[in-house]
Amino acid sequence: MTIITDDHCTSYSSPGHPERPERIAKTVEKLRGQTELPIRWGQPARVEDSVLLRAHTAEHLVRLEVPADFDGDTPFLPNIADYARASVGAALEALKSARAGQTAFSLMRPPGHHAIRNRAMGPLRCSRPWPVAPIELQSMISTCITATEPRRFC
């Protein structure tokens, strides 16, 4: 099993928001402390704009850098565009591993799976699996990611 994560994904938070860094920190701690499942740890891939533009508009990518809240549930945070890119990169690494027949899990916080083509939604800024997933796999990947979100285990 490969777990793709980045310690930086626990470096941001918004007071009072239900999406918290502790979800990932506690999951990583628990996984590192167990011995039953051999785990290889991986890092998110670097994600270029050309990949993100498969799922999002150019205007959306520019908007990620504007220091203003996206809506009442989606605050702007310093470096949020970098966190969004790392989240996408982790999902793409997991997809790459799965296509190679390996078991992998992207253990990252949002920003991620609720964002739509032209805007962030909820705590999420960029869609994680959509940039490279063929259209016929998108529903399946979304179902798998939703069913295995770390918050369900913490």
**Tokens coding 91:** 């999902």
- Please give the tally of structural domains in the chain: 1
pLDDT for the residue 75: 81
> What is the predicted pLDDT for the residue at 126?
47
Structure tokens at 71: 């809506």
Residue 27 confidence (pLDDT)? 92
8, 17, 113, 114: the active-site residue: 114
Nearest alpha carbon to residue 43 among 85, 81, 71: 85
Closest-CA residue to 88 (of 121, 57, 146, 129): 129
Q: What CATH number does the domain containing 7 carry? A: 3.40.800.20
Question: What pLDDT tens digit does each residue of the chain (154 aa) get?
Answer: 999 999 998 888 888 777 788 888 999 999 999 999 999 999 999 988 888 888 888 998 898 899 998 877 778 888 888 988 898 889 888 888 888 889 999 898 865 446 666 666 554 444 444 444 443 344 344 434 433 443 333 3
pTM: 0.73
- The verdict on whether 114 is a catalytic residue reads yes
Domain span including residue 115: 2-152
pLDDT at site 137: 45
pLDDT of residue 17: 74
